[in-house]
């Protein structure tokens, strides 16, 4: 093929997603993907050695498209909740054309332990990237707690997204806004408690 390696990778991934929509994950083989993208097995294997690699590439593509819309500098007038809302809604907008393929991957993840091992860490990396893009550290133990909290929000809102047929994803927006507001209130409570404990530690004894 005369395409560049990145173009070829993109075409293979597009073919894989189309096949997922038509057949589901279990009924698509690597050979099917090669045939749909006009590649021999040897060339396809060099790009994607198995279907799990294609799933990882799909997740990385979504992350990249979401982060591409993030400003280079943060707006100081925006709250963290505002930024996370924009990032996650951009994620749902990006996923919307691939809803059928995404559903096929999720169904496979519930049956296939290897798929679950790919999806779990992949989603955690995605949440860490969303936090960093929103100006919040995803590092260390506190970062892991934040990643898990954001993943819980994302998972809950995803269930609404899966059934949201509105053109503007209004139900998804409402669910995301509500859960982020609740998380913001809890974060404020935790911050106040942490500040109080810190003051008790550093204050001189009476």
Residue ranges of domains in the chain: 72-202
Give, in degrees to the nearest 5, the angle at Cα 53 between 51 and 55. Answer: 75
pLDDT tens-digit readout, 54-111: 999 999 999 999 999 888 888 888 999 999 999 999 999 999 999 999 999 999 998 8
**In this predicted structure, what is the pLDDT of residue 185?**
86
Q: What pTM was estimated for this model as a whole? A: 0.85
Looking at the predicted structure, is the pLDDT value of residue 6 above 90? no
pLDDT tens-digit readout, 154-172: 999 999 999 999 999 999 9
| Residue 38 backbone dihedrals phi, psi, to 5 degrees | 60, 45
Looking at the predicted structure, is the pLDDT value of residue 190 above 70? no
pLDDT tens-digit readout, 127-154: 999 999 999 988 888 889 999 999 999 9
**In this predicted structure, what is the pLDDT of residue 139?**
84
pLDDT tens-digit readout, 25-55: 999 999 999 999 999 999 999 999 999 999 9
Mean pLDDT of 8-19: 96
Looking at the predicted structure, is the pLDDT value of residue 123 above 50? yes
- Of how many residues is the chain composed? 206
């Amino acid at each position: 093929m005369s395409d560049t390696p990145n173009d070829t990778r993109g075409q293979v991934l597009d073919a894989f997603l189309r096949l997922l929509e038509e057949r589901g994950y279990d009924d698509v083989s690597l050979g099917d993907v090669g045939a749909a993208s006009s590649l021999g097995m040897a060339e396809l294997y060099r790009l994607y050695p198995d279907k799990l690699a294609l799933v990882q590439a799909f997740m990385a593509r979504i992350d990249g498209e979401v982060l591409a819309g993030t400003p280079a500098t943060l707006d100081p007038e925006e709250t963290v909740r505002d930024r996370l809302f924009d990032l996650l809604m951009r994620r749902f907008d990006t996923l919307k054309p691939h809803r059928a393929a995404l559903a096929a991957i999720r169904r496979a993840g519930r049956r296939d332990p290897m798929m679950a091992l790919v999806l779990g860490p992949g989603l955690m990396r995605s949440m860490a990237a969303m936090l960093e893009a929103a100006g919040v550290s995803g590092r260390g133990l506190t970062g892991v707690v934040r990643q898990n909290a954001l993943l819980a929000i994302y998972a809950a809102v995803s269930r609404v997204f899966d059934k949201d047929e509105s053109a503007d994803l209004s139900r998804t927006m409402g669910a995301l806004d509500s859960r982020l507001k609740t998380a913001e209130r809890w974060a404020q409570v935790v911050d106040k408690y942490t500040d109080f404990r810190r003051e008790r530690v550093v204050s001189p004894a009476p």
